[in-house]
A and B are shown apart, each in its own frame.
Chain A
Amino acid sequence: GESVGLHLPTLSVQEGDNSIINCAYSNSASDYFIWYKQESGKGPQFIIDIRSNMDKRQGQRVTVLLNKTVKHLSLQIAATQPGDSAVYFCAENEAGGYNKLIFGAGTRLAVHP
């Protein structure tokens, strides 16, 4: 498959552990945030989103935390599985704008058995 971002920061975890991926966003006017997962050779896949009027949102095995004070997002993955191995991107969208998603650099998650 295609390699994405060969020089990305990498988070290595053991299968079954919890993973936390962090992202610093740039625009204090952004009011909508999304986490995407990109597997080798595939396009980004939506994981979870959060609006700026919330500070936490939970999905199935995933939780997104938003700290607007320090412009920080995190993605927590519970009981990480080998299938979670991928590159994870956070994306932000400016308030009042159309879906002009600005993506972060990405973090590679490597899950070891």
Chain B
Amino acid sequence: DSGVTQTPKHLITATGQRVTLRCSPRSGDLSVYWYQQSLDQGLQFLIQYYNGEERAKGNILERFSAQQFPDLHSELNLSSLELGDSALYFCASSGSGQVGTEAFFGQGTRLTVV
């Protein structure tokens, strides 16, 4: 158990809908990262937050947004869902968010868009 908790584990929704994925980082970790894993593209970095502020952005679509709350949990919001958004979404956390600090991953949320 990495200490990173993601909910829900599975989510099935229809195209055009909006969903929210939740992540609770390890106790004491200030930095949260979101990744998307699909069969044909591997693990893609989406976005990173540190202590409530956005720190780095990857290939995150405009339909997607995220935030980190004062209690350090994070939410990833996916809207106007398309079939191609079906993937595993992982959250990871690390202590400081600086290069060289190990990131611990949650078990992921499996999103299926039908």
A positions within 8 Å CB-CB of B: 2-7, 31-32, 34, 36, 41-46, 49, 51, 89, 91, 93-106
Residues of B within 8 A of A91 (CB): 43
Asked if B42 and A46 make an inter-chain contact with CB atoms under 8 angstroms apart, the answer reads no
B61 at the interface (CB under 8 A from A): no
Interface of A is mostly: loop
**24 CB-based A-B contacts, threshold 8 Å:** A5-B42, A34-B102, A36-B105, A42-B107, A43-B106, A43-B107, A44-B92, A45-B105, A46-B104, A49-B100, A95-B99, A97-B99, A98-B31, A98-B56, A98-B98, A99-B94, A99-B98, A99-B101, A99-B103, A100-B45, A102-B45, A103-B42, A106-B42, A106-B43
B positions within 8 Å CB-CB of A: 2, 4, 31, 33, 35, 37, 39-40, 42-45, 48, 50, 55-56, 58, 88, 90, 92, 94, 97-108, 110
Question: Which residue on A lies nearest to B10, using beta carbons?
Answer: A2
Task: Give Cα distance in the complex from A95 to B33, angstroms.
Answer: 18
Given A43-B107, A43-B108, A98-B56, residue A32 in contact with residue B100 (CB < 8 A) = yes
